[in-house]
Amino acid sequence: MWGAAGPDAFDCSGLTQYAYKAAGISLTHFTGAQWNEGRPVSRADARPGDLIFFYNDLHHMGVYVGNNLMVHAPRAGKPVNVLGINYIPIAGFRRVT
């Protein structure tokens, strides 16, 4: 659900914000803002916990879990799930520490 930040509903950046908060890291809510909070890492250097962003306008994101998979909130009415990252155009990875 757009704008939702959990725990009962999430949009993509609300899910990443919620997950990072559980790890003690504060993030803003929206994808463009989260893109600016992390430092870039290459796909080859991506590791579990990195943020992954999609499309040139950064309108979708998730948490990379390794092995070309991510956890994400796909769209309204669909549950949070694990998805392969090779089906969506990747804009980049960011590491927030």
Annotated catalytic residues are: 12, 60, 72
**7 Cβ neighbours under 8 A, 6+ residues apart:** 18
- Please tell me what DSSP assigns to residue 4: -
Distance CA 49, CA 8 (A): 21
CA 96 to chain centre: 11
> How many Å apart are CA 88 and CA 63, to the nearest integer?
14
